[in-house]
Structure 1
């Protein structure tokens, strides 16, 4: 009789034994699939967190120009970057804020054309620490984005906007310190700076309410000449990419006195735990695979011992030993395949519960480090064909290990010893 057909008859005859094997395989496959789902979800969440949080690199030093910042920002390791170019300007058609404290005696009264506004040329204002840490907050409109590079737009502080009745869409005019250049700016956003006005006399250009954020090119138009950046912030995907960016900066900027600082605290706080969850899920898969092979091997070995008389009869009738081992292998594989299908249904629920318990569901702190954690979407757990293929492959491997190793004992025995042992 064909040993495959004989395996099917054996499975039907030993329903209890088949049920035990099926139950063990369902548990093993469910744990394996749950591990793969958790590892995949952790990898996706870690990738999203790397794009959102990343590692901020702050570069300072003399000779750092907007052109150099753009060249370094074009690196494939940089996700976002922001140069900061400050400039003092005059206000035309609007009333700047004035300090409440009296002017000190002997301090000359400046002309109306004296610089009273502080322009901050930026490319991506969300990368500025006051905005990324939440101390500055957009109350109307939007922030400065890379798409504003060729536009004449501004984000003004709400005290200056309130004094002049400015709203999003209005136009303000600012001029250079020498009065030769004037640029009209469209207000695209209004922000709030919580810093109070100083109690002592302070020049208007240093008041927090007189600070505007504009694109870098606007500052360059008003500047009398080439100006160096105060700093440039580059966001990379990982600490390793930050170190690679450091090497690129050295090649690009030369051996000048540049200060290169890496801030990876948010990355370590948010991304590292997610990566550890993924590593833990991979460890679960390996442990389950090894433990499953050992448990099934023990079960098959016990079943072979209980069926020694059957094996002895088959060998005495001329059945080859390898065909007996093949019969046991077919029996286990025939149980493993439906167990994968059952695990596909049960694994989704098990992995979702595990993900809720292990994966961080809070908003990344780097987005709003100064604000309370707020819930976000749960990482997506989905059963993919590749995961099922891996589970099926491991299940088949476990089947082979669990039957071939105990089957070595069959190959070493003779019909007489098998039948004698069964008496």
Structure 2
């Protein structure tokens, strides 16, 4: 009688022990499979979050560092200008498909009536003082809220976020392109153009914020925007209807001598959101001074979105380790008790000349057969168990994150926008996870299950089979 046939007969005879082993194996395989499936789903969710946030990386001033330094030293540090040559060299990276310069400053209308401006308040009312930001002297310039407006300098207008997301669109004329460098041209919003009876081809005069410079620009395009001010009933200066777009190089002609209010940013549009980390690594090798500048790929929002996902990924990895170790120990104990109960059988077989390796092989066949049955069952139950575990862990993490969230922030992330302005952005954490089982998951789970089966069988069997038949039979008495 060969050892394989004996193994099959033994499993039938000891049906209770076989069922217990199969139940333990089924629990282990389901939990391990769930752990691998959740890790894969977490990675897919993280990739999806990256794609949702887009494949753009912004190079600009690191205002958090600057504010921290200012608090420590008591004065705003003098920031060097962004190395444009280095920024353009970085734009030639294999990961970049296009790029855009964005900078902002304040202009003063010269003969224009701004949308929302109060009657008879062209120059005196609604004034405010604003101090210079990093790079300036720290002196303040006086701002007339009724005659001042924002000007945004760009390399390509259609790459600006408002035009990309469809909130703004050109309705007459043409947009600003990279070929218009240093040209005195501008885009004007439809409401401002209608209020001042301006059409494409007309020229308007704009003064710098300190009124020391005047620039005449040609309106080459009229755009319409659905953007809303960050506050209700904003003053003209903050009304999106009063924003002009110019080539970024032209805007430099309007920078105030005191309290420089502009800070250039470069937005790199990558071929794939998954290239972001590689692009950042490449950028660190450039001569750009990252003591003052930073590359931001919506990192704060990304962390906000995938925070719960990362937590359940680490939890699922811990589950794999704990279940694998605990499963091996439990199975080892059960198999050890089973083998000890079969000392007489082993002693007799060894006495009649059966080889020890065949007895080892018999035990191995028994356990592997049971493991295979449990593995087959887990194919039917694994997906549902994995999804249940994933949903439970994720809902728990989201609930914990909600409790820890600062009510004053309400999930908001403040990011620096063009010209160093603060923009309030929010993104909800990922609250759904699609757990699916792949062939790779099954392969890894099968490998772990087989390793557990072999270890759980070999160690107890060796502890007994190292004895000779007489010793085994005497221990059984």
Distance 1:247 1:383 in 2: 38
Does residue 97 of structure 2 align to residue 72 of structure 1? no
Partner of 1:389: 443
- 1:180-329, aligned counterparts within 5 Å? 181-187=217-223, 189-195=225-231, 206=237, 208-212=239-243, 214=245, 218-220=247-249, 230-232=263-265, 244=281, 247-249=284-286, 251-252=287-288, 259-261=292-294, 265-329=300-364
Does residue 115 of structure 2 align to residue 97 of structure 1? yes
TM-superposed CA distance for 1:412, in Å, is 1.7
TM-superposed CA distance for 1:224, in Å, is 5.8
Taking a change above 3 Å as real, the CA distance of residues 389 and 291 of structure 1, as seen in their structure-2 partners, is same
TM-superposed CA distance for 1:95, in Å, is 6.0
Task: Provide the aligned C-alpha RMSD in A.
Answer: 5.0
Distance 2:17 2:427 in 1: 52
Distance 1:266 1:385 in 2: 33
Aligned length: 392
Distance 1:279 1:339 in 2: 26
Distance 2:7 2:244 in 1: 77
Distance 1:171 1:16 in 2: 88
Contact 2:102 2:248 (C-alpha < 8 Å) held by counterparts: no
TM-superposed CA distance for 1:245, in Å, is 6.7
Q: Deviations over 1:291-328 (max 9, x none)?
A: 11101100100000111111111111111112111111
- Mark the runs of 5 or more structure 1 residues left unpaired by the alignment: 106-114, 132-136
Distance 1:158 1:366 in 2: 31
- Mark the runs of 5 or more structure 2 residues left unpaired by the alignment: 63-78, 125-146, 207-213, 403-410, 416-422
Does residue 473 of structure 2 align to residue 422 of structure 1? no
For normalisation by structure 2, the TM-score amounts to 0.65
TM-superposed CA distance for 1:9, in Å, is 1.8
Contact 1:181 1:222 (C-alpha < 8 Å) held by counterparts: no
Contact 1:77 1:237 (C-alpha < 8 Å) held by counterparts: no
Partner of 1:21: 21
Contact 1:53 1:367 (C-alpha < 8 Å) held by counterparts: no
TM-superposed CA distance for 1:274, in Å, is 2.8
TM-superposed CA distance for 1:18, in Å, is 1.5
Distance 1:246 1:266 in 2: 21
Taking a change above 3 Å as real, the CA distance of residues 176 and 69 of structure 1, as seen in their structure-2 partners, is farther
TM-superposed CA distance for 1:398, in Å, is 0.3
Does residue 356 of structure 2 align to residue 331 of structure 1? no
Q: Deviations over 1:269-300 (max 9, x none)?
A: 44454323212211110111111110110010
For normalisation by structure 1, the TM-score amounts to 0.72
Taking a change above 3 Å as real, the CA distance of residues 356 and 22 of structure 1, as seen in their structure-2 partners, is same
Does residue 178 of structure 2 align to residue 142 of structure 1? no
Partner of 1:4: 4
Contact 1:172 1:186 (C-alpha < 8 Å) held by counterparts: no
Taking a change above 3 Å as real, the CA distance of residues 298 and 367 of structure 1, as seen in their structure-2 partners, is farther
SS in 2 for 1:192: coil
Contact 1:155 1:190 (C-alpha < 8 Å) held by counterparts: no
Distance 1:34 1:299 in 2: 24
TM-superposed CA distance for 1:94, in Å, is 8.8
Contact 1:81 1:233 (C-alpha < 8 Å) held by counterparts: yes
Partner of 1:112: none
TM-superposed CA distance for 1:40, in Å, is 1.2
TM-superposed CA distance for 1:51, in Å, is 5.0
Distance 1:156 1:225 in 2: 17
Taking a change above 3 Å as real, the CA distance of residues 269 and 123 of structure 1, as seen in their structure-2 partners, is farther
1:119 pairs with one of 147, 151, 156: 151
Distance 1:310 1:141 in 2: 80
Taking a change above 3 Å as real, the CA distance of residues 373 and 84 of structure 1, as seen in their structure-2 partners, is closer
SS in 2 for 1:191: coil
TM-superposed CA distance for 1:354, in Å, is 2.2
SS in 2 for 1:86: strand
Q: Deviations over 1:311-352 (max 9, x none)?
A: 111111111112111111111111111212221221211221
Taking a change above 3 Å as real, the CA distance of residues 76 and 336 of structure 1, as seen in their structure-2 partners, is farther
Distance 1:186 1:159 in 2: 9
Partner of 1:108: none
Which stretch of structure 1 is more off in the superposition, 311-320 or 43-52? 43-52
Distance 2:152 2:114 in 1: 16
Distance 1:288 1:190 in 2: 55
Partner of 1:134: none
